[in-house]
Amino acid sequence: MGLSTISQTIQAIEEEDSIEDSEEVSAQHLRGIFHYANSRTTVPGLDIYTDGSKIEDKTGSAFCVMEEDTTKYEWMAQLSPFNTVFQAELLAIQEACLWVSKTNQQIKVWAHVGYSGNEAADVLAKKATQEGIPIYIPTPRNHIKSLLQKESIIRWQKEWDNGETGRSVHNVLLKVKTTPTPWQRPEITFVTGHGPFPTYLKRCNVRSSDSCGCGNL
């Protein structure tokens, strides 16, 4: 990824719900670093390429500094399984910009289409998922939301299994779910016991009472 596209990337990632603003990875902070680093790239010199990668439950972030086809410097980081590839991209951009700001090197960063350096950064990011230095950045919002939803389902299931009401429905729908069951009115009245079924079954001596499951006639 080149500095010519970093500004757009930061803006896009800044709008993602899955990215938490933080001191470690802040889009606003990166924007300031980007402007500083970009002001130092007017003279051709080194090329820097960044990338992030997520393979199954492993996330990697990396950038490489190249001069022609020779790699001068590499940086890799291994993130937590819950971190997103967007966070990995942001982290790589941040570290690349910080590296520029701390050195007196004159750099030139290309757009990422058609340059072998981007292939090198991609390989490095994948390698970082296994061998990068461990770095912690905050949990993305969507991961927290997923954990809360799973915990809610577990508690809901326990209440449904141990409840005292709705047992006729429980016999049919054993598992709770967040999507509605596509039943029509006849299925609903039959399974819940509401409607004319108790009266009919009592008349046929199948039931001893014509009350529905809720205790009402």
Parse the chain into domains and list their residue ranges: 39-138, 140-178, 180-210
Q: For residue 76, with 0-12 CB atoms within 10 Å meaning exposed, 13-18 middle and 19 or more buried, which class applies?
A: buried
Q: Residue 43: its pLDDT value, please?
A: 40
Mean pLDDT (whole number) for 178-192: 86
Neighbours of 134 (CB within 10 A): 8
171-199: b or e for each residue (b if 16 or more CB lie within 10 Å)?
Answer: eeeeebeeeeeeeeeeeeeebbbeeebbe
Q: Residue 88: its pLDDT value, please?
A: 92
Q: Residue 3: its pLDDT value, please?
A: 46
Task: Please write the tens of the pLDDT for every residue from 94-133.
Answer: 898 888 888 776 666 554 545 677 788 888 899 999 998 8
Q: Residue 203: its pLDDT value, please?
A: 82
Ramachandran region, residue 8 (left: φ > 0; alpha: ψ -120 to 50; beta: rest): alpha
Q: Residue 174: its pLDDT value, please?
A: 92
H-helix or E-strand spanning residue 77: strand 70-79
**Please, which residues bridge with residue 182 across strands?**
none
Q: Can you name the CATH fold of 39-138?
A: Nucleotidyltransferase; domain 5 (3.30.420)
Q: Residue 154: its pLDDT value, please?
A: 94
Mean pLDDT (whole number) for 74-94: 91
Ramachandran region, residue 212 (left: φ > 0; alpha: ψ -120 to 50; beta: rest): beta
Tell me: pLDDT of 141 over 80.
yes
10-28: b or e for each residue (b if 16 or more CB lie within 10 Å)?
Answer: beebbebebbbeeeebbbe
Nearest CA to 1 among 78, 62, 83?
62
Residue 136 banded pLDDT, cuts 50, 70, 90: confident
Mean pLDDT rounded to a whole number for the chain? 76
Q: Residue 119: its pLDDT value, please?
A: 81
Instruction: Write down the residue that tokens 């500004």 correspond to.
Output: 7
What is the rounded CA–CA span in Å between residue 20 and residue 78? 18
What is the rounded CA–CA span in Å between residue 121 and residue 74? 9
| Residue 210 contacts residue 193 (beta carbons within 8 Å) | no
Task: Please write the tens of the pLDDT for every residue from 24-77.
Answer: 445 555 555 555 455 444 345 678 888 999 998 899 999 998 887 788 899 999
Q: Residue 45: its pLDDT value, please?
A: 67
